Amino acid sequence: GIQVEQSPPDLILQEGANSTLRCNFSDSVNNLQWFHQNPWGQLINLFYIPSGTKQNGRLSATTVATERYSLLYISSSQTTDSGVYFCAGYNNNDMRFGAGTRLTVKP
Amino acid sequence: NAGVTQTPKFRVLKTGQSMTLLCAQDMNHEYMYWYRQDPGMGLRLIHYSVGEGTTAKGEVPDGYNVSRLKKQNFLLGLESAAPSQTSVYFCASRPTGAFYGYTFGSGTRLTVV
């Protein structure tokens, strides 16, 4: 079946630290995306990254489609990076989400 | 630019009551989606629509109905609410072909007692 698996489930960092979040996805998933859900519940697109590498400020993402995984890198983390990070991929017309990585950045 | 607007933002229902959640988007998007989010889980797709007058089942459609009579609106109905439907509901929309163009509403927190 369709699977999008994320690790780690929880991550606690000190402000300024770097982190890597991982997403593994099954064969039937494509057009991978990363989202951030802030502590107020709002979901924001971070990256649309079916393959390759993209960077946006302190965040970057890499998807290796042939090996069915994607990585989200957060450098020099800030308290405002706290929240839940989801990866999601398409199967036909709908998008399936992983369970998320809850990131807490402490000052 | 309102984007995707969900109403209401909060609601408490008694078991067996019915209600309708409204999602409205002003971006002329063809695709619209309803998801539910439960603690410790990602979003799960309930129903979706690929255009006005169309609807399709997602991953967890049981107990819900939807309608897309107008392109800008996507309604989610609960005919007989159950405690298992206590959740946060998110609506999203995107344009045709633009998988990256997802826009989410701010969510509806529903409690069924």
pLDDT at B2 over 80: no
Contacts of B112 by beta carbon, 8 Å cutoff, 6+ apart: B12, B13, B14, B15, B81, B82, B83, B84, B85, B86
CA angle A97, A3, B99 (to 5 degrees): 45
DSSP letter for A80, please.
G
Residues of B in contact with A35 (CB under 8 A): 102
pLDDT band at A10 (very low <50, low <70, confident <90, very high): very high
pLDDT band at A26 (very low <50, low <70, confident <90, very high): confident
Mind listing the pLDDT tens digit for each residue in B35-92? 999 987 889 999 999 999 999 999 899 999 999 999 999 999 999 999 999 999 999 9
B contact residues 51-80, partner A, Cβ 8 Å cutoff: 56, 58-59
**Hunting for tokens 């929309």 — which residue is that?**
B93
Residues of A in contact with B41 (CB under 8 A): 99-100
B76 or A94: which leads in pLDDT: B76
Out of B35, B56, B100, whose CB is closest to A33?
A: B100
pLDDT band at A31 (very low <50, low <70, confident <90, very high): confident
How many whole angstroms separate alpha carbon A9 and alpha carbon A100?
Answer: 6
pLDDT band at B98 (very low <50, low <70, confident <90, very high): low
**Hunting for tokens 């302190």 — which residue is that?**
A58
How many whole angstroms separate alpha carbon B97 and alpha carbon B87?
Answer: 30
| Residue B6 CB neighbour total at 10 angstroms | 20
Residues of B in contact with A101 (CB under 8 A): none
- Is the Cβ pair B100, A4 closer than 8 Å? no
pLDDT at B93 over 90: yes
Residues of B in contact with A88 (CB under 8 A): 42-43
Mean of the pLDDT values across residues B5-18? Answer: 97
A interface residues, B as partner, C-beta within 8 Å: 4, 31, 33, 35, 41-45, 48, 50, 86, 88, 90, 93-100
